[in-house]
Every structure is written in C-alpha cells, then in structure tokens.
C-alpha cells in the first residue's frame, strides 16, 4: 500500500547550519506517527517542510505517492494544527471551521452541513456562533482539529498542540486525540518533545536529535530496545552510568563504572569489547528492591546499600539508593505492595536486576 506520507533524504540547511539531515520515513495510511525530540532538534522544520512553509534543501516529500515539492501550502492535501492552535479570533467557531471550505468554493448550504457535522463529531454541537475566546482550552483544541478535518486532508500535522494545556487536560486530550484520529481515520503526524504524549498516542515514533532520526519504531521498541544511547536516555526515565568494559561474554558484558561499581549489561548486538568506554542504562522499574539479599539471588546485578531519599509520587513513587561506593545514586521503583510502606531514609536495602535489562552503548555517542 502506498504510504500516505513519505519523505526521502529530506535535508534542510539554513546558511551554515543543517537543521534537518537526510531524514527518510514513511507513514502508512490511517496511522499515528510521532516525531519526538528535544526542542531545537529540527522536528518543527520537518513539519513546516511537509506543510509547505519551507522548501527542503534536498530530498523529496510525497503524499499518496505524489511529490508535493512544487505544490504551495494552500494546495497541499495536508493541514496543520498549530502549536497555539491559531484559531482565527476575528471569526466565530462556525466560520473558523468553514474557512477552508469557503476557500475551496463550496456552496453555503454544503459548508453549513459539513461544519455542523464536524462540530457533532468533536462533541461540541451548537457552539458554531460562539466566539473563539469563549471556549475552554480543550474545546479550542477540538475546534482546531475539526477545522482541519472538514477538509479531509490526506495527512494531518500536529505541532505540539497540547503544550499550552495544563497537566490534567493534557492527559485527557491525549486519549481524546487518539480517539479522534480513529474516528476520522486519517493519518496523523504529531511532533512533540513530551515522550509520554508520543508513547501514549503513536503507532510509530521517530526519535530525533540534532537534525537526524536516531531511531524509528513502536513505543515499545524505543522504550525497551533503544538503538542509541540518546534514545535510551531520552525516552522514559533511566539510570545511567559510564564505565569501562572489563569482560565480554557473548551478548552480555561486565563493566566497571567510574566510581568502581561492577555492573552486568547486554549489548543487544552492538560491538563492545573489553577496554571500551561504555554507557549503561537501567530503567528504575527494572530494578527490584528487597529487605534480604536472598530474594534477589537470581539477578546477576546485586547491590547492597541504604536509602538516601524517598521520592513519593503515588503509584510512581521511587527511592534513591546509594551502594557501598559513595556517589552513585540509583533510582529504583518502589513496589506498591505495602511491603515497603515503612521504608525510611537511611534504611539498609538490597537491589538487583537482570543483566539483560542493562542496555550498553559505546560511550561518546551522546
């Protein structure tokens, strides 16, 4: 099947700086694709090139198999939901939604019908005559999407549209956006710096850094099997140590951190040899905590230490554990079983994790 959106070798240079470097990806029809990266990584530049506000220096953009490089923004079958939504404050809601239809030259009755339908679809029927500033943040969000969707674009671009919302609303809108995407059955391309937004909503995610795609895959892939140290560090919370490889045994290696801890980790096929500098990443939830050493006997990483800090955060509560060697604090998920409800700062604990939970990367790659 022809992908709805396909970029090949996309490059954008501004003078001496390269904002986007040789990026290629394809988005299959009806899927939710996210580009995740820190601010300034070039994700907005990609978005603006797809929308047509920027011309790529190199490479091609194809929508439904047809190159759109020569097509001006107002003729491209893509629409964009802007960061601050960019609703037209001088028009009421119905006129906002009907704007694109009017531009397309539809009959008044047709415009009214489609606008009404779109409002119905986003669950806000009958607000057509309201003004933009009379709406709540979430309502505006939905109107902004409806404004694009009435045009039935091949691809809908969303430029961090949840950034301006408060946390509670953002959580709800994540679910709602996913539902809207399913309802409209349209290809969404979503850019964000918030990994949780990307992980929750996306079918596929590309992690972007310094103008390049680091890794592309499902949220699960990125989370559990990061290809690069950057992805491992950027997607999800993680413990991170730098050290030197002491031994390699097939897929697993042994590594001594700069502070002297001995850790075992997995290379997942990456070439790492004894003597190499390496980074090791271990997620807090992969680490078990126990009162006695025996409970953790089956793990190949075992550290005894004491609690230096309790980070209470409801279900996501954690503790910071310091091993025998001072200076290395390990962030560990606190099980909600009640077993550790009485854990106090300074208490002696044992922690352990399986060696293949430690992702190792050659040091230097960020």
Residues numbered 27 to 66 that lie near another protein (CB under 8 A) are 51-53
Q: Which residue number, 73 or 116, has a Cβ lying nearer to another protein?
A: 73
x/- mask, another protein, residues 195-234, rule CB under 8 A, reads ----------------------------------------
**Does residue 337 bind another protein (CB under 8 A)?**
no
Least Å distance between CB 124 and another protein? Answer: 19
Least Å distance between CB 88 and another protein? Answer: 6
Q: Which range binds another protein by CB under 8 A, 147-155, 160-168, 212-220, 273-281?
A: 147-155
x/- mask, another protein, residues 70-99, rule CB under 8 A, reads --xxxx--xxx-xxx-xxxxxx-------x
Q: Which residue number, 58 or 88, has a Cβ lying nearer to another protein?
A: 88
**Does residue 191 bind another protein (CB under 8 A)?**
no
**Does residue 186 bind another protein (CB under 8 A)?**
no
**Does residue 147 bind another protein (CB under 8 A)?**
yes
Q: Which residue number, 146 or 261, has a Cβ lying nearer to another protein?
A: 146
Give, rounded to a whole angstrom, the gap between the first and last alpha carbons of the chain.
37
**Does residue 355 bind another protein (CB under 8 A)?**
no
Q: Please report, as ranges, the residues that interact with another protein according to CB under 8 A.
A: 51-53, 72-75, 78-80, 82-84, 86-91, 99-100, 103-104, 147-148, 151
């Amino acid at each position: 099947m022809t992908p709805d959106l396909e970029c090949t070798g996309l490059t954008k240079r501004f003078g001496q700086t390269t904002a986007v470097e040789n990026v290629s990806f394809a988005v299959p029809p009806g899927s939710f694709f996210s580009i995740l990266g820190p601010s300034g990584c070039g994700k907005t530049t990609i978005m603006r090139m797809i929308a047509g506000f920027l011309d790529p220096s190199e490479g091609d953009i194809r929508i439904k198999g047809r190159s759109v490089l020569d097509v001006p923004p107002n003729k491209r079958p893509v629409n964009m939901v802007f960061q601050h939504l960019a609703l037209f404050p001088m028009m009421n809601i119905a006129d906002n939604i009907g704007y694109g239809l009017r531009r397309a030259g539809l009959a008044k009755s047709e415009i009214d019908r489609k606008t009404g339908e779109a409002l119905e679809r986003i669950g806000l029927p009958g607000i057509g005559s309201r003004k933009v500033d009379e709406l709540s943040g979430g309502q505006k969000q939905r109107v902004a999407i409806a404004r694009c969707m009435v045009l039935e674009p091949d691809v809908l671009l969303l430029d961090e549209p949840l950034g301006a919302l408060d946390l509670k609303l953002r959580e709800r809108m994540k679910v709602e956006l996913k539902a809207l995407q399913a309802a409209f059955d349209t290809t969404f391309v979503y850019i964000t710096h918030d990994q949780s937004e990307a992980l929750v909503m996306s079918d596929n995610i590309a992690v972007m850094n310094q103008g390049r795609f680091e890794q592309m895959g499902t949220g699960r892939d990125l989370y559990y099997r990061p290809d690069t140290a950057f992805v491992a560090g950027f997607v999800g919370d993680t413990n991170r140590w730098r050290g030197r490889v002491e031994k390699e045994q097939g897929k697993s290696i042994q590594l001594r951190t700069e502070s002297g801890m001995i850790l075992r980790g997995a290379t997942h096929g990456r070439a790492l040899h004894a003597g190499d500098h390496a980074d090791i990443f271990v997620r807090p939830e992969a680490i078990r905590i126990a009162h006695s050493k025996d409970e953790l006997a089956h793990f190949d990483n075992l550290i005894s230490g004491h609690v230096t800090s309790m980070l209470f955060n409801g279900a996501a509560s954690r503790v910071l554990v310091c091993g025998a060697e001072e200076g290395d604090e390990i962030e560990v998920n606190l099980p909600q079983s009640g077993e550790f409800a009485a854990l106090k700062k300074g208490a002696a604990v044992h922690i352990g994790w399986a060696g293949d939970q430690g992702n190792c990367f050659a040091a230097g790659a960020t």
